Amino acid sequence: MYSSELVKGTVTTLILKLLSDNRRMYGYQITQAITEATEGKITLTLAAIYPVLHKLKASGELTTEKEKVGNRTRIYYSLTEQGDTTAREKLQEFADYLATMKSLLEMKPGLQKYILIPQC
């Protein structure tokens, strides 16, 4: 399991990615999909997923459809056109970030030089 600090900044991107791959999903489905896809390494709490879903809806990235399931209502989330653009931008940004982190962590010789210089 990764620490919540590490996961925190990626929740929006994860949700947008899932919704760009699936036409529509509901909250529980999103949490399960993330847990399964990461083999339990990332498990989102309720406080991590639902506020973000509602924020994305308020800012126009997501739209909702309500459906009756038995005796309750289920809210399905899907990307709007604006959300689709945001999803692509976020994924691009995230991929770029990962590449940067990778190069940082691989300790290129040029970078090592700066890290190893003792600070005055």
Partner 1 sequence: MLTKSQISLIKKRIQQEGVKTAELAEDLLDHFCVAIEQQVAQGRPFQLALDKAFDTLQEDELKITEMKTQELLEGKKVFYPDLFQSFGLLLMAFAIGWLASKGVQAISIGIADPEMRQQWYEQNYLLIGEIGIILSLGVPMGYTIWRKRQTQTNMSIFSFRTVPVYVYGVILLIGFLCLFWLEPLSLFSPFFQEGWEAERLILENFDPLLIVLISIGNMILLESLFRGIILRGLLMTATPTRAIFWSGLFCALLLYHQFASVFFFSLTSGWIYWKTRSLFPSIFFMITIYLTSYAISHFLGHSRGSLFHFTWWDYVDHNLLIYLPLVIGALLLTLGLLFYLNRRLKAESTI
Asked whether position 2 contacts partner 1 by CB under 8 A, the answer is no
Q: What single-letter DSSP state applies at residue 59?
A: T
Asked whether position 70 contacts partner 1 by CB under 8 A, the answer is yes
Asked whether position 94 contacts partner 1 by CB under 8 A, the answer is no
CA distance 66 to 77: 9
- Candidates 20, 24, 27, 78; binder of partner 1 (CB under 8 A) is 27
Burial of 63 (0-12, 13-18, 19+ CB in 10 A): middle
Asked whether position 52 contacts partner 1 by CB under 8 A, the answer is yes
Asked whether position 50 contacts partner 1 by CB under 8 A, the answer is yes
* Helical residues (DSSP H) of 1-80, grouped into ranges: 4-8, 11-21, 27-37, 46-58
Residues near partner 1 (CB under 8 A):
26-28, 31, 45-47, 50-55, 58-59, 64, 66, 69-75
